[in-house]
A and B are shown apart, each in its own frame.
Chain A
Amino acid sequence: MIADLTRTERLWAMIILGVLTLLGLAMAAAGRADLLGIHGWMVLAAGVIGFTAVAQRYNAPEPSAERLNEYYDAPTKLGIILTLLWGVVGMGAGFWVAALLAWPDFTIDAAWASFGRLRPVHTSGVIFGFGGNALIATSLHVLQRTTRARLPDQISPWFVLLGYNLFCLLAASGYLMGLTQSKEYAEPEWYADIWLVVVWVVYFAIYMRTLARRKEPHIYVANWYYMAFILVVAILHIVNNLAVPISLGSAKSYSLFSGVQDAMTQWWYGHNAVAFFLTAGFLGMMYYYLPKRANRPIFSYRLSIISFWGITFMYMWAGSHHLHYTALPHWVQTLGMAFSVVLLVPSWASAGNALLTLNGAWHKVRDDAVLRFMALAAIFYGITTFEGSFMAIRAVNSLSHYTDWTIGHVHAGALGWVAMITFGSLYSLVPSMWKRPNLYSQKLVEVHFWLALSGTVIYVFAMWNSGVIQGLMWRTYTESGGLAYSFIDSLVAMHPYYIVRAFGGLLFLLGALVALFNIIMTIRMPAPVADEVAFDLPAQPALQAGE
């Protein structure tokens, strides 16, 4: 990757990494009496390692100008590998915390190994590590192909990918040390949040600069979704994380908002992280890779327009359905419920659009496990969004809220939709990225598919059952008018389901390991004939270097 940079670019990379090193040093010095200092040393180490790597190759020969006539895919390649690694870490932590809920004493007597600290490692590991890397890797690929333009420069994509992973690392290691602001899915502390904003601004700039150089008059559907993902996640992240640190030498901060306003802001963020991180971004993925793999155009362009603006507008109202029957004013709850129900229209517009695209290509779905991953993802997307709208109805929510039903719903989306569309897209992307004729083993994709599907179904059914039972036990009355069950009765009733859930999660994790193995073996396959993917080039002449 460093060999692809010119001398000037190498110098710039060294300057950026030098600044990062100094930032780390400042953090380590200011936070020497605090856990912030440990993160300072980590940032410093990242800076030094990067700086040394570039400096060592500084005098290597300049890359040929030829490279500018090709798409810039090196960041996507590393992004794919990081996606899989974070997937294994995040899902592994998920399996482990699921097991801890079944057997709480099966642990070691150390703070970092306790459920409360490992659980955000699981959630952030899969959402931000696995999902975020998948989004960055695929978006850079899709962006270039749909605009027929190369990325605008060589350094900023690396800055985004590596900087983002530094954020993920700070987040995960912070949780183990007890650094969290306890806002679900926004747990990292203030300095990590600020760093993410810097990374995100550069990410957005890459998008805009590439679009400005596009050779296609129209901006393709997938890019609207990716852009909405980048923009809205920025808005959500900044507003929800407004906080005052107790000092610049401390990792601890206090949220600017409190009580009811904080709850509303948090779930406006939380639900729209689902909407724009876990839905819009992955819909972008689906709108490119599914038609591509099926080799058919999208069923309806208009339907995708309706779906896009519907999701962009309506989702932002829906967060308050997390706060039914709470101290949040009633009118806000009602608005959240109403918009959540109407949201079914744009959601099903996209799910239907995807499935109708496959009309006439169902034999491919039968034969090709990669396409089957994507088709199944679309089906799970449809199921999960229906369930979500249903659960947002106040009366249903009174039963489902606070129970495992929510966990089941989330995982139907996370495993069935997000992970499946990701695996499908990566499988179809990997051979073309490494210019291999095919994957190492089609059979292993088949194995992965069935592991993933059975794991998801077992997981989700276990949680549906336990959630509904839990909710019903809490509200059951005896004939004499008293509550029939104590809380602990309901917990005991959950035990078998927690074991089944851990088993389902284990199957899914095994599938991810199979994927990692298959993709590594694909990369290690012998290099093929050169002109295999010769058509996959940007419009000529390529604009670059001093344009």
Chain B
Amino acid sequence: MFGLHYNLERSAVGLVAFIVIVASIGGFIEIAPLFTIDETVEEAPDMRVYTPLEVAGRNIYIREGCYACHSQMIRTLQDEVERYGPYSLAVESQYDHPQLWGSKRTGPDLARLGDKYSDAWHTMHLNNPRDVVPESKMPAYRWLLRDQLKTDDLGAHLAALRTVGVPYSDEQIANAEIDAFGQANPDSPASGGVAERYGAETNIRMFDGVQGRLSDMDALVAYLQVLGTLTDAAQETALAGVQ
């Protein structure tokens, strides 16, 4: 064995080839099957895509590095299910490019945050967390209310997401910008198409409490309010387990 190695360490090309082959085996065996085995991701016919406003909010979540302190993955442990809700299913992050499962909980898990608090609570909390949770360690994100949301390239965002596998229609891509405005301004004519294109369950309201303009806060709150609500599959799995 060490005789073979004697020759190997005399050949740079041989060594390189060996390293690449030996190192590739593990990753290949673990990753490749995930794309082909059907059981990896469950079927969930009710699974919906993010609206343009929610996509923008998700990008703000990424921009501000929220993933460093909050997970979006409830593990199959009893205390987690009791604290946060039914454990996360693979299908729930099917359209998440990239996933935001996280690796650390300096703050709580957010996988089922949607509909848990009011929009006003979220807006206050993001603007200064200690206004609503005095012991919080979270930074204050005051600029979210100040900054106007950039929407002119949302169509391109949706189109890129379609390229990587999220089923957006041509109509959804073409109306991305107007739908983003409409979702946060329920009294404007732009709001009409949102429910039509994304379903009756879509939240259409003034997320940051200010009518007539779109802030970064609108987008982030819209995103936080749909976490865990894109499909009922996890709740149904939990119920089936009880019965």
Contacts and interface: CB of A to CB of B under 8 A. Distances in A.
A182 B58 CA distance: 11
A20 B138 CA distance: 40
Contacts of A175: 65
Contact of B83 (A101, A255, A487): A487
Interface stretch (A3-11, A87-95, A312-320): A312-320
A219 B10 contact: yes
Nearest to B34: A261
Contact of B160 (A231, A245, A316, A324): A245
B64 A309 contact: no
Contacts of A15: none
B100 interface: yes
A235 B31 contact: no
A488 interface: yes
A247 interface: yes
B64 A254 contact: no
A317 B160 contact: no
Interface in A153-172: none
Given A246-B159, A261-B35, A474-B79, A178 B63 contact: yes
A305 interface: yes
B139 A313 contact: no
A246 B157 contact: yes
B99 A336 contact: no
B151 to A, nearest CB: 13
Contacts of A211: 12
Given A316-B24, A329-B40, A487 B68 contact: no
A257 interface: yes
Nearest to A256: B164
A326 B157 CA distance: 29
Given A244-B160, A262-B97, A483-B83, A180 B90 contact: no
Contacts of A315: 26
B20 A114 contact: no
Contacts, number: 257
A12 interface: no
Given A228-B23, A327-B90, A258 B35 contact: no
Contact of B71 (A116, A309, A402, A474): A402
Interface string A387-413: 000000000001001110011000000
Interface in B41-56: 41
Contact of A325 (B25, B76, B99): B76
B189 interface: no
Contacts of A492: 135
A268 B97 CA distance: 17
Contact of B64 (A116, A312, A323): A116
Interface string A177-195: 0111111100000000000
Contact of B77 (A101, A184, A335, A475): A475
A326 B88 contact: yes
A120 B103 contact: no
B22 A178 contact: no
Nearest to A317: B26
A266 interface: yes
Contacts of B225: none
Contact of B101 (A119, A263, A498): A263
Contacts of B161: 254
A179 B16 CA distance: 35
Most interface-central of A179, A181, A212, A265 (chain B CB within 10 A): A265
A358 to B, nearest CB: 24
A320 B34 CA distance: 12
Interface in A311-352: 312-320, 322-329, 332, 335-336, 339
Contacts of B160: 244-246, 253-254
B212 interface: no
Contacts of A181: 62, 98
Contacts of B109: 402
A7 to B, nearest CB: 32
A208 B159 CA distance: 42
Contacts of B133: 488
A89 B93 CA distance: 36
B33 to A, nearest CB: 8
Interface in A244-283: 244-247, 250, 252-266, 268, 272
Contact of A475 (B40, B79, B101): B79
Given A235-B23, A312-B22, A475-B77, A266 B65 contact: no
B53 to A, nearest CB: 16
Given A219-B9, A258-B97, A327-B90, A332 B59 contact: no
B23 A326 contact: no
Interface string B82-106: 1100011111111111111111111
Interface residues of B, number: 88
Given A253-B160, A475-B77, A487-B108, A317 B22 contact: no
Nearest to B154: A246
Given A268-B30, A402-B105, A487-B108, A114 B153 contact: no
Contact of A232 (B2, B15, B23): B23
Interface stretch (A103-111, A374-382, A445-453): A103-111
A525 interface: no
Most interface-central of B23, B100, B143 (chain A CB within 10 A): B23
Contacts of B59: 252
A53 B87 CA distance: 59
Contacts of A260: 34, 40-41, 90, 93, 99
A265 B87 CA distance: 21
A483 B79 contact: yes
A463 to B, nearest CB: 11
A477 B94 CA distance: 33
B226 to A, nearest CB: 16
Given A260-B93, A325-B77, A313 B30 contact: no
Contacts of A116: 64-66, 68-69, 139
B82 A246 contact: no
A255 B164 contact: yes
A117 interface: yes
A268 B93 contact: no
Given A105-B140, A259-B93, A314-B26, A208 B88 contact: no
11 contacts: A101-B106, A111-B141, A231-B20, A255-B98, A259-B94, A264-B31, A327-B90, A327-B92, A401-B103, A402-B102, A491-B136
Given A115-B65, A231-B20, A264-B30, 20 more contacts: A114-B139, A182-B100, A208-B16, A211-B12, A219-B10, A224-B19, A239-B27, A250-B156, A252-B157, A258-B93, A259-B93, A260-B93, A263-B99, A309-B22, A316-B24, A326-B73, A402-B102, A487-B83, A488-B136, A492-B135
* Interface pairs A-B: 10 shortest CB-CB: A116-B65, A316-B26, A325-B75, A317-B26, A259-B93, A178-B63, A255-B98, A327-B90, A211-B12, A402-B105
